[in-house]
Amino acid sequence: MKVALTVWENRISPVFDSARMLLIAEIENAMIVGKRYEPFQPDLPFYRAATLFELGVTVLICGAVSHLFANMIEACGIRIIPFVAGEANEILDAYLKQMPVSRIFRMPGCRNRRRNRFNRRMRFQKI
C-alpha cells in the first residue's frame, strides 16, 4: 500500500490544489518499507489524479482540497484524508498506528461539522 502526503518543508501543504511535492510512503504490515519525495507539478485536476493513480497511491493525506480535485481523486479509487495540518512524519506515524489522523491533526479553523459535511458529500456523490 502507498500513502501520499502533500508536503511543504516537512509539513503538510496547507492547500492540495497548489502542492508541489509528495511524500510517498510504501507500507507493508503496518511498517514503512520505503519513503521518497516525488515532484507533483500538474495543475489540471485530471492529471493530478492520474499522477497519484500511476504512482500506485491508495491513500492521500492532505490539507484543504477543492471539491473538483477531490472528486477526480476519489474517482480513481484513492481515499482522501483532507483538512490535515502538522509535521508529515508525525502524521504518518499516527496513520500507521491507526489513530484518527483527521481529528488529531485537524487544520486550524476546521470544525467537525464542516469536515463531516465535506466527507458526507464526497462519500455519497456519484461521478
pLDDT of residue 127: 36
- Distance between CA atoms of residues 58 and 52, nearest Å: 8
Q: Any idea of the CA torsion for 114, 86, 35, 53, to the nearest 10 degrees?
A: 20
Task: Say how far apart CA 108 and CA 87 lie, in whole Å.
Answer: 14
39 or 118: which leads in pLDDT? 39
Of the listed ranges 15-19, 85-89, 113-117, the least confidently predicted one is 113-117
CB 40, CB 6: distance < 8 Å? yes
Model confidence pTM above 0.75: yes
Mean pLDDT of 103-126: 55
Q: Among residues of the chain, what percentage have pLDDT more than 70?
A: 81
pLDDT at 55 over 50: yes
Domains of the chain, each with CATH number or no CATH: 2-124 (3.30.420.130)
Q: Could you give the residue ranges of the DSSP H alpha helices within the chain?
A: 45-54, 67-75, 88-96, 101-104, 112-124
